[in-house]
Chains A and B, each alone.
Chain A
Amino acid sequence: MTQIELRGIQKYFGAVQVIKDLNLAIADNEFIVLLGQSGCGKTTTLRAVAGLETIDEGDILIDGQPVQHIKASDRDIAMVFQSFSLYPHMTVYENIAFPLRATRMGRNDVDTSVREIAGVLRITGLLARKPSALSGGDMQRVAIGRALVRRPKAMLMDEPIGALDAKLREEMRAEIKRLHIKQGSTTIYVTHDQVEAMSLADRIVIMHEGILQQVGSPDEVYSHPANMFVAQFVGSPVMNMAQAIVSETGGHASVQVGGQAKGFEFPAALANRLSDARAENGKLTLGVRPEGVLISRQAREGFMPVEAHIIEPLGSHDIVDLKVGDQMIRARTKSGFVPGAGEAVWARIDPVQAHFFNTATGSSLGIRL
């Protein structure tokens, strides 16, 4: 049973503020993924929780107890480093047993624990080897084994599979999920790979330049991004963003994009909702994921004529760049749906999948149609 709470964390490196007022409550057994671009402060946050980095302000609470003044060795937290950090002069067995030897555990109990965890991780055959004789995936398993063996209060993982090749990464992702379900411990996992985050997390914490952007389940951050950064960071290909002007014409709302006179058709309710959200026209950004851009080969009611500019065939589907005025909007279609570039097609934006942001602040207006 371990809850972790971060309250108002501030961290400076010299004059540079790396973490800005971070607040986060992590429930027992929760798998939290810290997601963000390189240099946004993910590792620093993790190291602060582990006790490897001091914080300048705020509290770190483990099970309600402030720990920011407690040494790393006394926090009972395990960490898997990005580089694995297996001790090169010890065998795999010794590496896994190392955290247990810091406790008063008897020889036989150490042996039992090491063999048990090695069995779970399927590395029993490697126990006598030195780390230099392991493959990347095996090193990673050993590193996880070393972290799990003493049943720590919480697990911290810093891009543990970032160094592996794509196929192995997918395998290890599944394995980490399986282990978490089986062993169940409060976990903070750092990555800059949004696919990894989506597939592993109970909740995703998105950071940008030291500021927490949004916390939510994978579905929440995907379907209800709190701001333009999250909207564009989560999901691939990225969400289309376009400056939009909304007007009311003939019983429905029209959203003009790319300086075109004709706008995409939206339900009339949009205009009211926008004025409720007090968004001034002209400072509004429309966001829509490629799958929210619907395409027709023929003229249809509510669809607008556009030009297919570039087509990227990706096997399972195509990504089509549509030219809307001076704006490019990417749509996702069935493979081969648009036969060639330059083709005239008709497009419409699915109102349910549309997002509206305040251009100046970047935050979502929270309008759902």
Chain B
Amino acid sequence: MAAVQTRSERALNRIAIAAVLVITLIFLAPIYWITATAFKPRNLATTIPPTVLFEPEISPFVKLFTKRSQLREAPAPEEYAAAPWWERMVFDGGEKIVRSGRGEVQPSGYPNRFMNSLIVAITSTVLAVGMGTFTAYGFSRFRVKGEADLLFFILSTRMLPPVVVAIPMFLMYRVVGLNDTHWGLIILYTAFNLSFSVWLMKGFIDEIPKEYEEAALVDGYTRMQAFFKIVIPEAATGIAATAVFCFITAWNEYAFALIMTNRRAQTAPPFIPSQVGSGLPDWTVIAAGTFLFLLPVAIFTFLLRNHLLRGMSFGAIRK
């Protein structure tokens, strides 16, 4: 768009751009801070004033993924020489990597929690968006008795804050044996996201003219085929947006994860802060964990950016 602008409009435009830049910087600052800390040597992490220029290293990540213990005395020179470069970094920090009797490196709790987060967030997103799309299609295209009441009811599941339902849920889960299981969290997050997904998808599907499907019906397709061949591609933008929101919610969820899981199915959000509390916190390790934790959402959103930016389906229907 290159519409004609007056001089004052152009000046206003510049001011607006400057303001947007400043706001963007403010929003990016914490992300920069976490990222920078994740690559700092431990002694620079908590300096005052903060260290801005430093030589980045990856020791925080090595520490993040391994189980370590404090060194009481410096390692023997031959042990130090035999160690691979990444193990030396840990030695340099005054710690040593715990190995099993057969010499295998023991992993920290982080990789497991990260995997748990991925499993729970991806599965619950797929379920919530999939079921939400079907439900929304039903509400959008068929006359449903008490549609308004049902939709309100669906949304109402979202109105109670997690803290209120967490304890009863915990007790119920204990009875059915879903505590500290992946499925337990998946069901919880799916239920939680479903209301949101139904509402959002209904809005998107309402925007798709019925006539597209009707054209497919007279063209010889069943309603199910029309749904998959016409509605789903037309709703791609909505599905992408809904998926991003559901994924972010499930990925970041803290309260339920803290109460419902402790080891087997624990996700990253309750794990990362739990590390702060044990002994003297190593902020670089925590920052490294947080940094990695930010990546999936960033990557997912980046992959779907075209869908998110593209407006709603554009005019092959003349109105």
Interface residues of A (CB under 8 A from B): 50-52, 71-79, 81, 83-89, 98-99, 102-103, 130-132, 134, 136, 139, 146, 150, 156, 163
Alpha-carbon distance A72/B226, docked complex (angstroms): 12
Chain B, residue nearest A80 (CB): B215
Interface size in chain B (residues, C-beta < 8 A): 24
Given known A-B contacts A73-B221, A73-B222, A87 and B214 have beta carbons under 8 A apart: no
Alpha-carbon distance A129/B95, docked complex (angstroms): 64
Residues 263-319 of B contacting A (Cβ, < 8 Å): 313-319
Answer yes or no: B173 CB below 8 A from chain A CBs.
Answer: no
Shortest Cβ gap from A223 to chain B (Å): 36
Answer yes or no: B73 CB below 8 A from chain A CBs.
Answer: no
A-B contacts, 10 listed (Cβ < 8 Å): A73-B217, A73-B219, A85-B209, A85-B317, A87-B212, A87-B215, A88-B313, A88-B314, A98-B219, A139-B318
For residue A85, which residues in chain B have a CB less than 8 angstroms away from its CB?
Answer: 209, 211-212, 214-215, 316-317
For residue B215, which residues in chain A have a CB less than 8 angstroms away from its CB?
Answer: 79, 81, 85, 87, 146
Shortest Cβ gap from B232 to chain A (Å): 10
For residue A51, which residues in chain B have a CB less than 8 angstroms away from its CB?
Answer: 217-218
Alpha-carbon distance A102/B217, docked complex (angstroms): 10
Say whether A99 contacts B317, CB under 8 Å: no
Alpha-carbon distance A125/B314, docked complex (angstroms): 22
For residue A76, which residues in chain B have a CB less than 8 angstroms away from its CB?
Answer: 220
Determine which residue in A86, A88, A102, A131 has the highest number of CB atoms from chain B within 10 A of its CB, and name it. Answer: A88
Chain B, residue nearest A103 (CB): B220
B217, B222, B236, B316: the one contacting A84 at CB < 8 Å is B316
Shortest Cβ gap from B229 to chain A (Å): 8
Alpha-carbon distance A51/B216, docked complex (angstroms): 12
Answer yes or no: B234 CB below 8 A from chain A CBs.
Answer: yes
For residue A130, which residues in chain B have a CB less than 8 angstroms away from its CB?
Answer: 316
Alpha-carbon distance A146/B219, docked complex (angstroms): 8
Alpha-carbon distance A88/B217, docked complex (angstroms): 16
Chain B, residue nearest A83 (CB): B317
Say whether B222 contacts A132, CB under 8 Å: no
Alpha-carbon distance A103/B214, docked complex (angstroms): 17
Say whether B314 contacts A132, CB under 8 Å: yes
A78, A84, A89: the one contacting B219 at CB < 8 Å is A78
Chain B, residue nearest A88 (CB): B316
Alpha-carbon distance A72/B225, docked complex (angstroms): 13
Q: Which 9 A-B pairs have the closest CB atoms?
A: A131-B316, A102-B220, A99-B219, A88-B316, A85-B211, A72-B217, A86-B316, A85-B215, A89-B233
Say whether A52 contacts B314, CB under 8 Å: no
A50, A73, A77, A132: the one contacting B316 at CB < 8 Å is A132
Determine which residue in B211, B216, B220, B319 has the highest number of CB atoms from chain A within 10 A of its CB, and name it. Answer: B220
Shortest Cβ gap from B15 to chain A (Å): 35
For residue A131, which residues in chain B have a CB less than 8 angstroms away from its CB?
Answer: 316
Say whether A50 contacts B219, CB under 8 Å: no
With A87-B230, A136-B318 already in contact, 16 other A-B pairs whose C-beta atoms are closer than 8 Å = A71-B217, A73-B222, A83-B209, A84-B316, A84-B317, A85-B317, A87-B212, A88-B314, A89-B313, A102-B219, A102-B220, A132-B315, A132-B316, A134-B316, A139-B316, A156-B218
Alpha-carbon distance A102/B222, docked complex (angstroms): 9
Given known A-B contacts A87-B230, A88-B234, A139-B318, A81 and B214 have beta carbons under 8 A apart: yes
Against A, the Cβ 8 Å flags (1 = close, 0 = not) of B218-246 are 11111001000010011010000000000
For residue A99, which residues in chain B have a CB less than 8 angstroms away from its CB?
Answer: 219-220
Alpha-carbon distance A16/B180, docked complex (angstroms): 58
Given known A-B contacts A88-B314, A132-B314, A83 and B219 have beta carbons under 8 A apart: no
For residue A74, which residues in chain B have a CB less than 8 angstroms away from its CB?
Answer: 220
Alpha-carbon distance A134/B212, docked complex (angstroms): 17
Determine which residue in B211, B214, B222, B318 has the highest number of CB atoms from chain A within 10 A of its CB, and name it. Answer: B318
For residue B236, which residues in chain A have a CB less than 8 angstroms away from its CB?
Answer: 89
For residue B209, which residues in chain A have a CB less than 8 angstroms away from its CB?
Answer: 83, 85
Alpha-carbon distance A134/B318, docked complex (angstroms): 12
For residue B221, which residues in chain A have a CB less than 8 angstroms away from its CB?
Answer: 73, 102
Alpha-carbon distance A75/B220, docked complex (angstroms): 8
Alpha-carbon distance A76/B220, docked complex (angstroms): 7
Given known A-B contacts A89-B233, A132-B314, A83 and B319 have beta carbons under 8 A apart: yes
